[in-house]
Structure 1
Amino acid sequence: MTTVLRAPAQVVELDLDRPGGPWRPGFTAPVRPQGPVVALVRRAGRPLGLVAVDADRPGPDGSAGPDAGPDAGRLRRRLVEAAERHLDTGPAAPAPPPPGARAPLVSVIVCTRGRPTLLGDSLSALLRTDYPATEFLVVDNAPEDDATERLIRALGPDRLRYLREPVPGLARARNRGLSAARGEYVAFTDDDALADPGWVSALAGAFRADPRVSCVTGLVVPAELDTEAQAVFERYCGFGKGFASRDWSTRTAGRDPLFPFAAGRFGTGANMAFRTTVIRDLGGFDPATGAGTPTRGGEDLLAFLRVLVAGHTLAYRPDAVVWHRHRRTMAELEAQIQGFGTGLGAYLTAAVSQRPGLLAELLRRLPAGTRYALRRAVAPAPAGPGRGGRDGDPGLARLGRLELRGLLRGPFSYLVSRRQDRRFRAEDWS
């Protein structure tokens, strides 16, 4: 089943094997919402899918909504019924063994720029991690004041390391954190994301289960659906990649006509991790890509591609859950989607300029990629969990055209960004 996400709705989560609930994202507190509700349903911690109900409407059996009586468990029962109708709620797969006394150190890096309120919530969520060997690094990118540094001192300077990267650019900020990381694995999330308490454990478990895996991405769920723009983002593209684990490598490419260039299918920079030695050996992130540069993105996609073409395996594990706060206004959303297109065009340009041998392979996939981009610009079709009902939606088609416009601008933006990066490097050397 595809759950069509609408706004406004309160986002909650529910574990079928855990009494009580529903809960706020991250199981931080029980809630009793009114009106539309979207729930991430789990079994023994494992995400199963999203369901939507209206807490104020009668249930299928004619029972009233939660405000009709004192039964606080009525909404839970409604959500459980919806899950049993629409999701596979069978026994959960065995959980991986706990990390034990020798848990490999994981370095978690959060890059931020001028958003201390969002960052405070993100760091508070990270500090609730259940993984025993974690270091947290906060990279302040081109700060205009000391608000982020003061926040770190207030939240816990004994657990949070503050770093400063003076040159704007998300890839540069990620590289600054990567250079200081001490962990065997390095994980990245955003300052507008809320990591699940089990996020780090799930990432580390994926690496430990398979030595061929050098990059892990995870499930990204909306943290809120307060505005129409947030729901439109989920219907248009969203960050979620489904509820089934997947592995990709050049050995198992299958028949995907866009592999390995459609790197957005593998995950997103809001929820990704690498073996530290591997990402360092690959050169880290291209400083000419990423938010804060003319390319506006693409640094994560390029890193995924580098991992794959180097012969490593990239794994998607939905157990590694992050909740993301999407843009709240349509103007912000439209700018973001156009930026996605620019970042995609820049990423493809960077890929072939750095590895010319990829050009012939990219050209072979160009017809399929062109058809895919044009479909999104004319009549977008359903593309995954939470994204039903796209056919014939002129608003979504407009986003597709904005993304296509950005895509065409991407190669030029990358060339401009490369020149800027060379100038920054020259200034550093002088």
Structure 2
Amino acid sequence: MESTPLGPRPAELQVTELDLDGPDGAVLSFGPALPGGPAVRGGDVYALVRLRGRPVATVVCRVPPGKQPADAVAATARAKLAGREPTAPPGDNALGDDAPGPQEPRDAGRLEGDLPRTSVVVATRERADQLARTLDSLFAQDHPDFEIVVVDNAPATSATQDLVERKYGKRVRYARESVPGLAMAHNRGIAVADGAVIAFTDDDVVADPHWLTALTAPFAADPGLGCATGLILPARLRTPAQILLESHGGFAKGFAAREYDPAHPPADEPLFPFTAGSFGSGANMAFRATALRDIGGFDPATGTGTPARGGDDLYAFVSVLVAGHRLRYTPEALVWHHHRETWQDLKNQAYGYGAGLTAYLTAVLARHPAMLPSLLRKLPRGLAHARTITAHRDAAGAAGPGGHGAQDYPWPRHLSRLERRGMLAGPLGYAKARRRVRGLPLPWDQRARPQGDG
């Protein structure tokens, strides 16, 4: 058996989903979460559990040889959902042990006639094959009125433009942003977009068909909403690096909808709004276009592709809240994310998370200096939070029935050290990045759009 930093190589988990309905938990459907995926066979399975279509939990179980996979997963799901109340904060659950949130009647269908015109922005760089998979999932959305904008960031080849023109034609708007950086690419998307709401996702996700409707319905219901985020689950769990990341929280923020209101700060988050990582992630977010433009869009000195390494999404979340808008997390807005596959990928990601965290805090203070007194008041607890933001992964979590929980695979200390090193480097990285982009106008303030705008 191959050896890995986790010890013996863990078995691949087959990612799938099933839907339960009725008081006795009858199985309505069971199949691969991703279009065209292989049929589920015996072995370890990671499954999203839906209740009447609504995501409520994830489970991990082992399907014995010869047993129907649907029966095995349904039995595990029924046992888990029976009388279970959420006890852990979002993101603190181990792989396969996400507690279901309180169930509210789905209201997205009632609001579909009122859904705002939406622009979906996908920033990409030299990943045409992955991008095609993402775009295909966007064309399967049940939202009645949206456009797709692809932003080609500092391209080295014409592969992305060729893909868009050959396969999608006028159905996808193509824009080029020559300055590298995810925030720069997102700002170019803001300039091109014509929707009242602008949604963002990455080129390594597959969007659930109901994603865009669920993500944008809250804007129709709440005129004071500035931002919405959604649930991110793993599309594949094939490698030890992917399993380790997901076993310690991954990108998921739980199955309970939550609203963040700056007029009524949450009592259970004393560092609000500085703990922006709990609000959501950049692979699944949407903004009211006027609110996003009013705050100046994304800080171009943050994000992947800059010395800051990340933090562009966190900066935008906090800036929208500081401007007085509400933010809502809604787990019905689901995308499946392709986690990085190798140990080197995971090491780079750990360092980038640390750097992005402190870079975004630096950006907030640089652009919102009035927040400094509030941060100073919260600084002692903030420093404690910074020290524990990586250590929480070291805590043992409850493993799923088939194993593969946090207690099976402790978070390697060298990854925690890399995150802390990133935290130390983040402010300097932001300063370097800011010098590079100083003087650049916001794209929507330019009179002429760049070559390549579609």
TM over 0.5: yes
Q: SS of 1:156's equivalent?
A: helix
Contact 1:15 1:41 in 2 (8 A): yes
Contact 1:106 1:183 in 2 (8 A): yes
Q: CA deviation at 1:128?
A: 0.7
Distance 1:319 1:411 in 2: 35
Q: SS of 1:251's equivalent?
A: coil
Q: Are 1:23 and 2:22 matched, yes or no?
A: no
Q: Are 1:344 and 2:357 matched, yes or no?
A: yes
Q: Are 1:223 and 2:235 matched, yes or no?
A: yes
Aligned ranges 1:228-239 → 2 under 5 Å:
228-239=240-251
- 1:47–1:283 Cα change, 3 Å: same
Q: CA deviation at 1:139?
A: 0.3
Distance 2:386 2:271 in 1: 12
Distance 2:16 2:80 in 1: 17
Residue 88 of structure 2: aligned partner: none
- 1:397–1:389 Cα change, 3 Å: farther
Q: CA deviation at 1:134?
A: 1.0
Residues 320-352 of structure 1: per-residue CA shift (max 9 Å, x gap): 001000110111111111001111111001111
- 1:86–1:302 Cα change, 3 Å: same
Contact 2:399 2:408 in 1 (8 A): no
Aligned ranges 1:136-155 → 2 under 5 Å:
136-155=148-167
- 1:168–1:384 Cα change, 3 Å: farther
Q: CA deviation at 1:197?
A: 0.4
**Aligned residue type for 2:105:** P
Q: CA deviation at 1:167?
A: 0.8
Residue 370 of structure 1: aligned partner: 383
Contact 1:105 1:185 in 2 (8 A): yes
Q: Are 1:290 and 2:290 matched, yes or no?
A: no
Q: CA deviation at 1:258?
A: 1.8
Q: SS of 1:153's equivalent?
A: helix
Residue 65 of structure 1: aligned partner: 66
Residue 286 of structure 2: aligned partner: 273
TM score, norm. by length of structure 1: 0.88
Contact 2:301 2:308 in 1 (8 A): yes
Pick which of 301-310 and 205-214 moved more. Answer: 205-214
Q: SS of 2:200's equivalent?
A: strand
Residue 106 of structure 2: aligned partner: 95
Residue 84 of structure 1: aligned partner: 78
- 1:217–1:385 Cα change, 3 Å: farther
Q: CA deviation at 1:254?
A: 2.7
Residue 69 of structure 1: aligned partner: none
Aligned counterpart for 1:113 among listed residues 100, 117, 125: 125
Q: CA deviation at 1:381?
A: 2.6
**Aligned residue type for 1:11:** V
Residue 452 of structure 2: aligned partner: none
**Aligned residue type for 1:321:** L
Q: Are 1:11 and 2:15 matched, yes or no?
A: yes
* Same amino acid, percent of matched pairs: 45
- 1:191–1:201 Cα change, 3 Å: same
Distance 1:119 1:325 in 2: 12
Q: Are 1:41 and 2:49 matched, yes or no?
A: yes
Q: Are 1:416 and 2:427 matched, yes or no?
A: no
Q: CA deviation at 1:383?
A: 8.2
Q: CA deviation at 1:49?
A: 0.6
Contact 1:26 1:197 in 2 (8 A): no
Residue 142 of structure 2: aligned partner: 130
Q: SS of 1:250's equivalent?
A: coil
Aligned ranges 1:165-180 → 2 under 5 Å:
165-180=177-192
Distance 2:391 2:376 in 1: 23
Q: CA deviation at 1:103?
A: 3.9
Distance 1:38 1:210 in 2: 35
Q: CA deviation at 1:15?
A: 1.3
Contact 1:16 1:41 in 2 (8 A): yes
Aligned ranges 1:261-410 → 2 under 5 Å:
261-377=274-390, 380-381=394-395, 390=406, 395-410=411-426
Residue 5 of structure 2: aligned partner: none
Pick which of 319-328 and 372-381 moved more. Answer: 372-381
Distance 1:28 1:393 in 2: 30
Q: SS of 2:179's equivalent?
A: coil
- 1:32–1:141 Cα change, 3 Å: same
Size of the aligned set, in residue pairs, is 409
Where structure 2 has 5 or more consecutive residues not aligned to the other structure, the ranges are 1-9, 84-99, 448-454
Distance 1:382 1:135 in 2: 44
Contact 1:223 1:323 in 2 (8 A): yes
- 1:31–1:309 Cα change, 3 Å: same
Q: CA deviation at 1:154?
A: 2.9
Q: CA deviation at 1:370?
A: 2.1
- 1:354–1:131 Cα change, 3 Å: same
Distance 1:34 1:153 in 2: 42
Distance 2:135 2:234 in 1: 17
Residue 71 of structure 1: aligned partner: none
Distance 1:76 1:257 in 2: 43
Pick which of 135-144 and 375-384 moved more. Answer: 375-384
RMSD over aligned CA atoms reads 2.7
Contact 1:48 1:88 in 2 (8 A): no
- 1:40–1:168 Cα change, 3 Å: same
Distance 1:116 1:174 in 2: 18
Pick which of 249-258 and 185-194 moved more. Answer: 249-258
Q: CA deviation at 1:79?
A: 1.2
Contact 1:376 1:397 in 2 (8 A): no
Residues 306-329 of structure 1: per-residue CA shift (max 9 Å, x gap): 011111110000000010001101
Distance 1:385 1:280 in 2: 44
Q: CA deviation at 1:392?
A: 10
Q: CA deviation at 1:356?
A: 1.2
Where structure 1 has 5 or more consecutive residues not aligned to the other structure, the ranges are 1-5, 58-63, 67-73
Residues 242-287 of structure 1: per-residue CA shift (max 9 Å, x gap): 0000001222213312211010100000000011111011110011
Q: SS of 1:323's equivalent?
A: strand
Residue 204 of structure 1: aligned partner: 216
- 1:200–1:376 Cα change, 3 Å: closer
